[in-house]
Structure 1
Amino acid sequence: MNNIESILKCLIENLDEGIHIVDKNGNTLYYNNSMGRIEGISPGEILGKRAFEFLKGVEEESSTLMNALKNREQYVDVIQNYSSNHGKKITSINTTVPAFYNGEVIGAVEISKDITQLKELNEKLCKLQGSGNTTNKYYTFDDIIGQTESIKAVINKAQRASFSNSSVLIYGETGVGKEVFAQSIHHSGARKDKPYVPINCAAIPSSLLESMLFGTVKGSFTGAEDKKGLFIEANGGTILLDEINSMDTALQSKLLRVLQDGYIRPLGSNAAIDVDVRIIASLNEEPEKLIREGKLRKDFYYRLSVVRIDVPPLKERKEDIKEFCLGFIDYYNKLLGKQVEDIEESVLTAFNSYDWPGNIRELKNVIESAMNMVDNSRVLTKEYFENKIITSKIMTKNPEVHYDLKNKSLEEYIDMIEAEIIKESLLRYNCNISKTAQELKMTRQNLQYKIKKYKLP
């Protein structure tokens, strides 16, 4: 038994999360070093004491540990704002669970995650976003690069969506420029003079995200103050919910209610506040897949996707690569004081042979890296780039296939290879569109477009 206790103690002491264990009267039995770092207290100072005896802003009736003992209930992901007796201000997310033995409560365990810095950074961000500073760079449809038919069709759909107030769902792989489309929709519509508030759902815990979106009233949780949420800050304008698939389904349900009824309730308040906010949401995974996995509520998806915009990945619009390169070269010329005018054709050939898993963002980073290496050259040549991209080859699953390149352009050659790969994959899955699209890592819509384009049976 002693060995097991030693192993458990070693495990608890090496967790990043704070652990606070109390007996049935609320007296501290155990307090690990991580909890000490969060609250700025030495564990030896508080053994035998109750939480509200050594923390400011925590009363006995609001202590999650005392409530877990008294109510015999667990409290999950509760936000708390408080201070230690040494003056350190803390914001944490706590989960508190009562411990039972023979049906009786013998104590409680609290697990804490420090989000103090995250909260401060997000509050600064919200102030910047709500400040109405019109000098910040924003994007319009004029900033979207692309001459391929697929991207032109997406731009046209997004332009039409900008004239309405309906919710928009933008789907695309990481790095395809979803926020550029979101900003373009906002800044081209009737709400362009109103706030545009982007928020990355993946970067913020759901319990904190809820209070940021809806606001709080004093007393809604330990240390809570009256604070406006982002919906009120963005009233009359637009909120971009980036990576909405990272949002907890319980919060998705609350947002669905806002979309349907047009009002919010701040945390801790029974008063409804009318809001007029357009929601644009973005996803970097296929919605249908997320629904199957239970990560995206079906009713929430249908309400969000009144207008759905699928942004194609860079590998499906390689004809635009040169235009992107020249645009990035111009940008970094100004930023780095260079005088580059063009990019070597052999580099573009290699770029067209590469799949660009990071999409436009990856291409931009590659050009930035090369521009940092340039001295007085007017042309970006292959010596300025990473070997992995420059030496990449067009790989097909059938190396025996040969093509007559006479009188054919590079674009036609690439199309022939792409058509062969799609045909081979379709045959392997008996023309099952879903399985073929999954293997080729493309959407069903894009696959069907390619089948039609190459006139595959």
Structure 2
Amino acid sequence: MFLDNEDFHSILYSLTDVIDIGIHIIDQNGLTIVYNKKMSEIEGMSAEDVLMKEIPEVFKFHEETESTLIRALHHGQETKNSKQTYFNNRGQEITTINNTIPIFNQSQKVIGAIEAAKDISSLERLIKDNILNKGETKYTFESIIGESENFLAVIEKSKRSTRTASSILIVGETGTGKELFAQSIHNGSNRSTMPFISQNCAALPDSLIEGILFGTKKGAFTGSIERPGLFEQAHGGTILLDEINSLNPQLQAKLLRTIQERTIRRVGDTKDIDIDVRIIATINEEPIDAIANGHLRKDLYYRLSVVTLFIPPLRERKQDIHLLAQSFIRKFNDLFELNIEDISEEAYSLFYDYEWPGNVRELEHIIEGAMNLLESTDKTIQTSHLPTFSKKKVPVKTNQHEEVSESLLSLEDYLSTTEKLYLENVLKRYQFNVSQAAKALQISRQSLQYRLRKYQIKSFTV
């Protein structure tokens, strides 16, 4: 059974509207005949603005450039991965990466052109922000709030690390304050007057982040310009690579070479450039697990973890909740022109019962949200001002079949507690000898040492 033209076109239009790539097709007269939903989103126009119109009627291009669609139609020229910047009918700048091909009939005559586009307008702005703004570091060790023993130990270790230029790996869950520690180390070192540049490795696609980190050479690919990367921008200072485990293995290998050789090579270039940069990387999962799951190269881990800082989650330093809460109250008093003095005992009780999956950042957001609900005459944050997060209790049946309100440990916390207790018992059995305990547990010595640091368990380093 063959489809007629009408059915075929219905299928074509339905298909182009569900794919996540912009599709723009013109006929032999240069009129737009297909303009899908994604392309409409990318260019900020409706299909009615573009359909059955010529490209110059709708779009404007820089004098030295030409539409890749028109080039394909008039010259039969195919373009791959070409960056194109132009303006829509409202003068808004659009930047895309295009694959454009001419459409030939059976006689090899060009009867139209099709373009597949990916939007990088927002990414281009992010690149400019990263390169032009070298990063104002506002945090120092005085900014770090906490008095719990395990947290003070991390602060002290961080302060000692300011004396050298060795690489640092900061391990911690989301919201624990990893960048705060990174900035404090930079500001406490002899590099404090030099640039501090931060880049979240998960924020950009692989196709762009290599050029952002290492720079590009003009002509390396269509539309590329001579641009220094963030490593060159950070020369003499510090670069923070956030969520290093999100980089693909090829980029991790290039980063490893950068650390070893202290040189970088721009994308498309053949010469190396010397750099003097201290690298601080962060990871939001256990390094051993990241290596096992293929998220982090083992050789890169060894290079980055010359100094390793394990930032404890808030649930493991709950005695700091009061200090942190007071700090956030002062902060939002200034911002909102309020005069809140404290948090009620009932509210603090909920805070101490809660497990804080979002850590310090979650505590800050909760206090900010509560202070938005206060009247100008209020002086204390009450439980009624808090979101429902901390009020939830799990009904549990007692032996008398009475329903009581009781908080339960999360599965993760229960497993962590059980693992810590088991490790302590095994270590005692082997007189705290790490090598013998690791052999008995059938795990590597390195994996056991990581867990001992994580749970703050003391042992012999044999």
Q: TM-score, normalised by structure 1?
A: 0.74
Q: Partner letter of residue 194 of structure 1?
A: M
CA distance in 2, matches of 1:298, 1:151: 27
Once the two structures are superposed, residues 64-102 of structure 1 have per-residue CA deviations (whole angstroms, 9 ceiling, x without a partner) of: 99xx998xxx97xx4624447988754334578999xxx
**What are the within-5 Å matches in structure 2 for residues 299-448 of structure 1?**
299-375=299-375, 376-392=377-393, 422-423=417-418, 444-445=451-452, 448=455
Gaps of 5+ in 1: 48-52, 100-106, 131-135, 401-413, 436-442
SS of structure 1 residue aligned to 2:456? helix
Find the partner of 1:449 among 430, 449, 456.
Answer: 456
Mapped contact 1:33–1:43 kept (Cα < 8 A)? no
Matching of residue 124 in structure 1 with residue 129 in structure 2: yes
Instruction: Name the CA distance, whole Å, in 1 between partners of 2:35 and 2:393.
Output: 55
**Residues 219, 31 of structure 1: alpha-carbon distance in 2 compared, 3 angstrom cutoff:** farther
Equivalent residue number for residue 288 of structure 1: 288
Q: Is the 8 A contact 2:137 2:196 kept in 1?
A: no
Instruction: Specify the alignment match of 1:261 in structure 2.
Output: 261
Give distance in 1, aligned partners of 2:131 and 2:242: 15
Give the equivalent residue in structure 2 for 1:175.
Answer: 175
3-state DSSP class of the match of 1:139?
A: coil
Amino acid at match of 2:83: Q
Counterpart mapping for 1:220-239 below 5 A: 220-239=220-239
Shift of 1:449: 3.2
Q: 1:185 maps to what in 2?
A: 185
Q: Secondary structure at the match of 1:449?
A: coil
**Range with greater deviation from structure 2 (145-154 or 88-97):** 88-97
Distance 1:79 1:254 in 2: 24
- Report the secondary structure of 1:241's partner residue: strand
Q: Does 2:144 match 1:144?
A: yes
Q: Give TM-score, length-normalised by structure 2.
A: 0.73
Render the CA deviation track for 1:129-188: whole Å, top value 9, x for unaligned: 26xxxxx56111111111111111111111111211111111111100000011011110
What do residues 166-224 of structure 1 show as CA deviations (whole Å, max 9, x unaligned)?
Answer: 11111111100000011011110111110001111221122222222222232222222
**Contact 2:72–2:102, Cα closer than 8 Å, also in 1:** no
| Residues 137 and 183 in structure 2, CA contact (< 8 A), matched pair in contact too | no
Judge conservation of contact 1:54–1:85 (CA < 8 Å) in 2. Answer: no
Offset at residue 118 of structure 1 (A): 2.3
Cα RMSD for the two superposed structures: 4.6
Report the Cα distance in structure 2 between the residues aligned to 1:419 and 1:29, rounded to whole angstroms.
60
Aligned AA (2:328): F
Paired residues of 2:84 and 2:98 also in contact (CA < 8 A): no
Do the aligned partners of residues 183 and 399 (structure 1) sit closer, same or farther apart at CA in structure 2, a change above 3 Å counting?
farther
Inter-partner Cα distance in structure 2 for 1:339 and 1:84: 49
Residue matched to 1:275: 275
- Alpha-carbon offset, residue 370 of structure 1: 1.5
Percent sequence identity is 42
CA separation in 2, counterparts of 1:179 and 1:261?
Answer: 26
Aligned residues: 407
Name the CA distance, whole Å, in 2 between partners of 1:13 and 1:420: 46
Q: Secondary structure at the match of 1:309?
A: strand
Aligned partners of 2:153, 2:230: CA distance in 1, in Å? Answer: 32
Gap change, CA 1:54 and 1:344, over 3 Å in 2 = closer
- Contact 2:329–2:367 (8 Å) recurs in 1: yes
Cα offset for 1:242?
1.0
Question: For residues 43 and 388 of structure 1, do their structure 2 counterparts lie closer, same or farther at Cα, with a shift above 3 Å needed?
Answer: same
CA distance in 2, matches of 1:212, 1:260: 20
CA distance in 2: counterparts of 1:345 and 1:354, whole angstroms: 14
Unaligned runs of 5+ in 2: 56-60, 104-111, 400-408, 427-436, 443-449
